[in-house]
Amino acid sequence: MPKPAIVLLLFSLVIVLTVAIVATLPQAPRGPVVIVIDPGHGGHDPGAVVAGVQEKDVNLALALCVLRKAQGRADLRVILTRTTDLYVDLVERVRIAEAAGAHLYLSIHANYHRDPTVRGVETWVDTSAGGESLRLAREVQRALVAATGAPDRGVRRQTLYLRHTSLPTALVEVGYLSCPSERALLLDSTYQEKIADGILRGLLAFLGAP
């Protein structure tokens, strides 16, 4: 074989190998991270109702606030399971997240207790939840307590519809509507901003985003 032919052959081989190696390298994530926020209840299901305040309305206001805060970030895309006073089937809510290719799902709620002195933040995972859901719950709980200064009632487990997906999922109870002083805070726009900031910070911590 003439020398130029050998050089050409080797050169071609290097090109083919390079293309093959690059093709097998893990792809960098493309586009923004998708987050699904669920304003709990809605429509015919008001959730807790105390002194004329319906939980579904508080949940929606908070979810919309998180959405607004995330809109300035090119690395995030926030999708809400509802943007109006509408009931969405619970399993359908997690299906929305799966269909959107979500990295996580967080449901926002406000709490109720017979004892009006009970107040504070707690975050729930399903009894079958894996490590990622637990990590999500802990980050949201920590950041929300830090942002609001509300009592930390911890991360807890109970049977939830969140078991119908393998996505990282958690349900945050941002405060007690049954506690008059906390109810007033939950209706206050400045405090709502603090809650939304805390939730967003918790989600970013979970995602490892700055």
Query: Long-range contacts made by residues 25-30, C-beta under 8 angstroms, separation at least 24?
Result: none
Q: Tell which one of 35, 36, 38, 47 touches Zn ion (CB under 5 A).
A: 47
Cα–Cα dist 181/33, whole Å: 36
Q: How near is the Cβ of 173 to Zn ion at its closest, in Å?
A: 7
- For Zn ion, the binding residues in 83-122 under the rule CB under 5 A are 109
Cα–Cα dist 63/40, whole Å: 9
Query: Of the two residues 33 and 148, which places its CB atom closer to Zn ion in the complex?
Result: 148
Q: How near is the Cβ of 30 to Zn ion at its closest, in Å?
A: 35
Q: Does 39 bind Zn ion (CB under 5 A)?
A: no
Query: Of the two residues 47 and 198, which places its CB atom closer to Zn ion in the complex?
Result: 47
Which residues have C-beta within 8 Å of that of residue 131, sequence separation ≥ 6?
Answer: none
Q: Tell which one of 40, 42, 175, 202 touches Zn ion (CB under 5 A).
A: 40
Which residues have C-beta within 8 Å of that of residue 149, sequence separation ≥ 6?
Answer: none
Contacts with Zn ion, residue ranges (CB under 5 A)? 40, 47, 109
